[in-house]
Structure 1
Amino acid sequence: MAALGNKKTQKISSLELPQRLAQARGDAELDLLITNVQLLDVITGEIYPTAIAVGGQYIVGVGLEYLDSPAKRMIDGEGAFVTPGFIDGHLHIESSMMSPFEFEKATLPLGTTTAICDPHEITNVLGAKGFSWFLRSAELMEQNLFVQMSSCVPALPGFETTGSDFTLDEMKSFKDHPSVLGLAEMMNFPGVIYADKNVLAKVEAFDDLNLDGHAPLLRGKQLNAYLLAGIQNCHETVTLDEGKEKLQKGMGLIIREGSVAKNLKTLAPLVNDFSSAQCLLCTDDRNPFEISHEGHINFLIKELINKHSVPVHVAYRLATYSAAKHFGLKRLGLVAPGKKADIVLLKNLEQVAIKDVLIGGKFVSELKLENHIQEKLTKSQPPLENTMKRKPLVSTDLQYDLKKGSYNVIEIVPNEIITKHLLVGFDGQNFSETDVLFMANIERYGKNLPAGLGLVKGLGLQSGAIASSVAHDSHNLMVIGTNAADMAFAANTLIECGGGFVVVDQGKIQALVKLPIAGLLSLDSAEEIKSGIEKLKVAFRAQGVVLDEPFIQMAFLALPVIPTLKLTDRGLVDVSKFQFISLFQEA
């Protein structure tokens, strides 16, 4: 029987506990003693000098009374500030394009000691084979990686073609794994609200663990119904009033700041001493470029303090204690006796200037994570099969045959994953709006179905095409372009190389990042991926793209559970009504 108490990090074994108690009492030598530090107390908000006594992976004592305790190793903190390790409350590692081990190397030194991920991207492509790889990876990592049970494969049954199923029986088979905290984001909120028996069966199967939500713009009676089913949180809140209502009704507010979906500015005014108990932070989808140039959870803390006037202790509380309490992680989230020694040492609190990080009592700077990536990757047995099973396309596969009249067009909202639904006229030669481009969502799992065709506004592309094998959440091929020939060429480039991102113009590749693991993840280092992204940015900007992250933005144009209009491989979906609509709007 699964129980949170049996999950990773939750227990000190009965064999180990007597030794740790002896160290806490002062009757046994400490493994590590950190002196000359100032603790930021994320509960009271105080800052005071202290010493931290560590035994094995755990903090056995906090206080100046340990200054005279013998220790195998003593570290002078040189006046550094100390906080608990940071917790990312919801993310998809696949969106970083890095393997879990490369992700660990990139984010653990930035203070992210715990990540709660949903691998539904790779699970949509490979099913249990992809999900189980993440569990094997978690077992090999220093970072605390929790793997929530992907609940919606596909996100909206009947609206898209997915690479694999993930049945309830398969989900239950993983439930007792120590890295599984509960059910991942339940995106099919209509299924919950209207009591779909298959959806409720998943909720019921995991209702003794955590139940993560996903409910953009959900309000009123429908929100009440969603919460009644036991859903605990939402990371998809996009308006202030929506966030306030969710807090008022007891929902955990996970405030997101990813590479595209940026909600920190909107929701920060809701954060205060009272509400902080119910607020936490997440990155959701963040790529190596942003991680390298801005940071991870450390960046969100810095933004809260410096741009949104959130008190220092409250900002750090959201990233530590509040998140740990929300997920029932009783030995994480504080620098206190009995907690895992996941600690961040900082030179400056306001700037989140990190001096060093400890994970389980070990200094991250001494772990040489980069030296073990290939060994861990091999041991984890990653799924390296080619998932790009589509036959090559020809230009005629992307023929629109436009006629005079009105068309349903997706309008991109910069820095949001919601879209607008436009009705745009066509006079036989030109659209009534500028910057309207052709878009196709192309099934890639061997069924060779006709492409879903759409129109999109807001990218700015002036020539050529861009294409991606990352298209949430079923990850069919997405391509946007000015002409069918370049669109077909871009799609075929990704089919040939196993997936990735590509920019083409006049039948030539301008930039390409290959993603051979499920068409989602790279085998390269974070630095190499970042370099590839920089080349993509140069290429697409040269062709007129105005968005900072067009590939991430494009990936969400396929997700039929995010308002308002989306394009799957089966056609245009009106998300407000959860029904297909035609591209041409009949009079």
Structure 2
Amino acid sequence: MPARTKHAFPRPKPWTEVATHLVDVAMGRKPADLVVRNGRWVNVHSGEVIAATDIAIAAGRFAYCGPDARHAIGEGTKVVDAGGRYLVPGLCDGHMHVESGMVTVTEFCRAVIPHGTTSMFVDPHEIANVLGLDGVRLMHDEALAMPVNVHVEVPSCVPSAAGLENAGAQLTADDVAEAMNWENIIGLGEVMNFPGVAANDPLMVAEIAATVKAGRTVGGHYASRDLGLPFHGYVAGGPEDDHEGTSVEDAVARVRQGMKAMLRLGSAWYDVASQIKAVTEKGLDPRNFILCTDDSHSGTLVHDGHMDRVVRHAIAQGLKPVTAIQMATLNTAQHFRLEREIGSIAPGRLADFLIVSDLAALAIDEVFARGVRLAKGGRLEVDIPPYDYPARAKRTVKLGRMLKAADFDIVAPEGANEARVRVIGVIENQAPTRALEADLAVADGLVEMDRENDVCQIALVERHRGTGGVVNGFVSGFGYTRDCALASTVAHDSHHMIVVGTNKRDMALAANRLGEVGGGVVLFSQGREIALVEMPIAGLMSDERAEIVAQKAAKLTAAMREMGCTLNNAYMQHSLLALVVIPELRISDIGIVDVTRFEKVDLFL
């Protein structure tokens, strides 16, 4: 495992080491480091907004929250006048994947801190599928060096569905048990093998048991519409939350079973509006709901926001501002057993807070973490040094050979003039797909695409072991109208290479280009490279600044639109087409997979 990284930002001391000092500051016997005066205290414990409040901070923690903190002001105390603005706890993202931002933990933090995110709970199962436990440790150590709280979960399913795909690495129950002893591990990442949990799969049982024994939280992922016995078996198996719900019925079912319903608004997942009705219309207790993002790419982070975007959206659905903020602060902290550390403005907690001028609009003026101002007016005020990923984390794209257009030929059944095939159907703004069927023409023994009816080709190219393997199929929903191909080494969760195209020559060119640059996403059209985002770290993350990555991603999005694609955040939809744990139909390195039955099926019907 890599050696411990020297931290650019000191870790906060445990409360036990500074408690007596906090008492002295609260009593006026010692001066505070920082006092913020005349604020409106958004108290997520009581659900109130308390006017004319002062807060005193020492050793990176809140020492006093009350009507007058003048007794804590000394010669060296910095004093900030809030001017009647709101004091809001720093926002928490209860479930997310850094790799989906196309950037490292460092760059992700640089992008989201100005938006008020001061705590993140990250599941690095993307890098784990490429680099195994070593990749998890690399991200774990990078997270420790951040000026905000980046807690790491141990990935539970690497590969996500054994037998249905072959990833670049594998994690065992012993790996999970070992990682539970690391300093910054907060729990077990989303348990995606929901049939395995319901069937008492020994690996799932062992991983969940190791997590519970360590006193950590077990993350859930129940991506089935079946709320019958398989769901009940899954809940009995130990997962404590779930972010895969898409309907109000999903949210209600999870909360009634003692789970936390995580409602996500990512770059391409819009699941808050439908599920929040469980609170706004059905009156369920909002304490059991958590807001999260799951997957946000760099363009969303830089231009639209992060958890602030989710909170604003929840408020727009009819939630009271304080309730929405509770779902992004205290509820999250309590779920991960960190209520005494984060999630509220209260004595003893880390001094993570925002100064907000408009609560309903969540207009964030200033962002503080551990008592230090990190951002003002939407701009980062501190330098966060880049994390140096070692050479073994790069050049992970191994194609084994140069691909040709013929590698994407789909041979029809012998003697057929037409072929009935399975087609992966993309659903806009949702992770699930539809299992569609289409009758396609056959010419010279090869099945043709049907661009007029939006049926183009999809291929999965093996990229971990250099086998040269290519699995071909069909996909619908992208709307491409021109000759083009989009290739990506971000291909949840096994992260081979997905190529979607209307032209086989462009498909080969795009795949080979990613082999040259070490991974990323590229768009070719009529033999020319139109847009490229290089991601050399595990083929998943860029080593450039978030702003630069966002610019390249924006160029990619614009180029996809020029090709006829009108989907919201189509790249995110593209990257999930190999996710063999979310229904209905997917592609993997073993073939076409029916996720409703968890089995490989033939392309031809």
- TM-score of the two chains, using structure 2 as the length reference: 0.92
Answering whether residue 229 of structure 2 is matched by residue 215 of structure 1, we say no
**Cα 1:418–1:426 shift into 2, 3 Å:** same
Q: How does 1:346-357 map to 2 (within 5 A)?
A: 346-357=356-367
Mapping of 1:309-458 within 5 angstroms? 309-330=318-339, 331-365=341-375, 372-373=383-384, 375-378=385-388, 381=390, 383-390=392-399, 391-402=401-412, 403=416, 404-428=418-442, 434-458=453-477
- Name stretches of at least 5 consecutive residues in structure 2 with no aligned partner: 1-9
Deviations 1:128-166 (A, max 9, x none): 221111111112111100000001100001111211122
The letter of the residue matching 1:24 is A
Question: Residues of 2 paired with 1:512 and 1:10: CA distance?
Answer: 40
Name the structure 2 match of 1:115.
120
- Structure 2 SS opposite 1:580: strand
In 1, distance between residues paired with 2:133 and 2:72?
Answer: 49
What's the counterpart of residue 543 of structure 2? Answer: 523
Determine the structure 1 residue equivalent to 2:190: 185
Question: Residue 70 of structure 1 is aligned with which of 70, 73, 78?
Answer: 73
Offset of 1:481 from its aligned partner? 0.8
Corresponding residue number in structure 1 for 2:309: 299
Q: What does residue 545 of structure 1 align with? A: 565
Report the alpha carbon displacement of residue 170 of structure 1 after superposing the two structures with TM: 2.3
Q: Residues 29-58 of structure 1, C-alpha deviation per residue, up to 9 Å, x if partnerless?
A: 111111010012223332222000111111
1:206 pairs with one of 184, 202, 211:
211
Q: Is the 8 A contact 1:234 1:251 kept in 2?
A: yes
State the distance in 2 between where 1:44 and 1:51 align.
Answer: 17
8 Å Cα contact 2:264/2:292 also seen in 1: yes
Three-state SS of the structure 2 residue aligned to 1:501 is strand
Pairwise mapping of residues 63-142 of structure 1 onto structure 2 (< 5 A)?
63-71=66-74, 72-142=77-147
Deviations 1:330-370 (A, max 9, x none): 22111111111101110100111001011001111389968
Deviations 1:402-428 (A, max 9, x none): 342310111100111100011211243
CA contact (8 A) 2:113 2:380 kept: no
TM-aligned CA deviation for residue 200 of structure 1: 0.9
2-side partners of 1:370 and 1:101: how far apart?
15
Q: Distance in 1 between matches of 2:161 and 2:295?
A: 20
Question: What do residues 205-230 of structure 1 show as CA deviations (whole Å, max 9, x unaligned)?
Answer: 11131000000224122111111112
Q: What amino acid does structure 2 have at the position aligned with 1:496?
A: E
Quote the Cα distance in structure 1 between the aligned partners of 2:226 and 2:108: 32
Distance in 1 between residues matched to 2:183 and 2:279, nearest whole Å? 32
Give me the whole-angstrom Cα distance separating, in 2, the residues matched to 1:566 and 1:121: 17
d(CA) in 1 for partners of 2:454, 2:526: 19
Task: Determine the C-alpha separation between the residues in 2 that align with 1:135 and 1:188.
Answer: 23
1:572 is matched with 592
Q: 2:45 pairs with 43, 46, 57, which one?
A: 43
Q: Does the CA-based 8 Å contact 1:397-1:450 persist in structure 2? A: no
- Alpha-carbon displacement from aligned partner over 1:83-126 (angstroms, at most 9, x marks no partner): 11100000000000111111111111211100000000011001
Q: Determine the structure 2 residue equivalent to 1:461.
A: 480
Aligned partners of 1:356 and 1:365 also within 8 Å:
yes
1:32 partner amino acid: L
Q: Which residue of 1 aligns with 2:500?
A: 480
User: How high is the sequence identity, in percent, across the aligned residues?
Assistant: 33
Q: Which residue of 2 aligns with 1:3?
A: none
The one-letter code of the counterpart of 1:545 is C
Gap regions ≥5 residues in structure 1: 1-7
Contact 1:125 1:164 in 2 (8 A): yes
How many matched pairs?
575
Does structure 1 retain, via aligned residues, the 8 Å contact 2:87–2:355?
yes
Q: Deviations over 1:242-283 (max 9, x none)?
A: 211111111110000111121011112123575211100111
In 2, the alpha carbon distance for the partners of 1:289 and 1:275 equals 34
Distance 1:358 1:254, change over 3 A: same
Q: What pairs up with 1:500-519 in 2 under 5 angstroms?
A: 500-519=520-539
Distance 1:9 1:250 in 2: 34
The whole-number CA distance in structure 1 between the counterparts of 2:330 and 2:538 is 35
CA-CA distance at 1:26 after TM superposition: 1.7
Residues 381 and 79 from structure 1, CA distance in 2 versus in 1: closer, same or farther, beyond 3 angstroms?
Answer: farther
Between the aligned partners of 2:140 and 2:335, the Cα distance in structure 1 is 22
> Is it true that 1:260 corresponds to 2:260 in the alignment?
no
* Cα contact 1:93–1:117 (8 A) shared by 2: yes
| Cα distance, 1:381 vs structure 2 | 4.8
- C-alpha contact (below 8 Å) 1:133/1:382 kept by paired residues: no
Give the superposition deviation at 1:168. 2.3
* Partner residue, 1:270: 278
1:209 alignment partner AA: R
Q: 1:383 to 1:92 in 2, by over 3 A?
A: farther
**What is the match of residue 5 of structure 1?**
none
Tell me how far apart the structure 1 counterparts of residues 263 and 485 of structure 2 sit (CA, whole Å).
Answer: 33
Q: How does 1:220-239 map to 2 (within 5 A)?
A: 220-239=228-247
Structure 2 Cα separation of the partners of residues 345 and 503 of structure 1: 42
Distance 1:370 1:43, change over 3 A: closer
In structure 2, C-alpha distance between the alignment counterparts of 1:31 and 1:108, rounded to whole Å: 22
* Comparing 431-440 and 544-553, the one that deviates more: 431-440
Q: State the shift of 1:383 in Å.
A: 4.8
Amino acid at match of 1:223: F
Query: What is the aligned counterpart of 1:29 among 28, 31, 42?
Result: 31
Alpha-carbon distance between aligned partners in 1 of 2:386 and 2:457, rounded to the nearest angstrom:
42
Q: Is the 8 A contact 1:424 1:431 kept in 2?
A: no
Quote the Cα distance in structure 2 between the aligned partners of 1:154 and 1:244. Answer: 30
